[in-house]
Amino acid sequence: MIAARKLAGALGAEISGVDLSRPLSKEQFGEVKRLWLEHLVIFFRDQPLSEQQYMDFAAQFGEPIEYPLVKGIAGYPKIIEVKKLEHERTAFGAVWHSDTAYLERPPMASMLLAREVPPHGGDTLFANMYAAYESLSDGLKKSLSNLKALNSSTKADASKTREDRIKTDGASKADFAAEHPVVRTHPETGRKALYVNPGHTVRFAGWTEEESAPLLKYLFEVQTRPEITCRFSWQPGSIALWDNRCAQHNPVNDYHGHRRVMLRITLAGDAPK
């Protein structure tokens, strides 16, 4: 039987009673999908999948797509390595963000499969953007309701965390930018979520960066309040599947001198509304 154990009050649940090396039945998939939409991010333990099994599982949820800035692994262009090596000091994506918000159609979801983990540290934090939005005053919600924000792949906070991987595994050299609503409505749940993030959001559309900075700073603080986060500790064979439409994440860079290797698959999404 599929069971869920909550990690925190705001989001996150560990799912047990399922073997992801085999295709899920219609009933199993329906339950896993329901739990994912309810908890925003779900985790599985002890799933040492092959690359093909991993792709097969991802394809049940959506359409795997290539990540624009890093080349895929041999034989699997839609799986990238998210890794930090022993001599490196920066961790890929180690800043609060929603994946590739700088694309016109940001991904619906992302998933990570842990291959190698450090002896300590290397956890990932997740935050609930429904809760972030719902915590705002009615007046601020009204002010944000018609705003859009510019998201860029070159914002320093995020781009500097990719430098090591771009050097070794870089793909496209193009810069990406897109405007999206500051508050988006989830296409499946109908709930509203705050959709700016420290890693990619540069300014509000029609505003200067200087004008945007104070309000963005406040919103970024709201998004990462401890009470709306959860923390996941990895083991080899652990999988995380998170909903980029309503959750952010931040890998903790606290394991210098050790190696951490994950496999990531990104699933196609729609244009935020």
> Which of the following is catalytic: 99, 164, 180, 260?
99
> Which of the following is catalytic: 39, 97, 245, 260?
97
Q: Quick one: how many helices (H) and strands (E) in the chain?
A: 7, 16
81-86-90 Cα angle (round to 5): 70
120 is catalytic: no
Between CA 264 and CA 229 the distance in angstroms is 21
Residue 41: enclosing H or E segment and its boundaries?
Answer: strand 41-44
β-bridge partners, 31: none
Between CA 84 and CA 74 the distance in angstroms is 19
**Cα radius of gyration rounded to whole Å, the chain:** 18
> Which of the following is catalytic: 165, 200, 249, 260?
249
> Which of the following is catalytic: 115, 245, 260, 264?
264
3-state DSSP of 68-110: CCECCECCECCEEEEEECCCCCCCCCCCCECCCCCCCCCCCEE
Largest CA distance in the chain: 53
186 is catalytic: no
180 is catalytic: no
> Could you say which DSSP state residue 170 is in?
B
264 is catalytic: yes
Catalytic positions, written as ranges: 97, 99, 249, 264
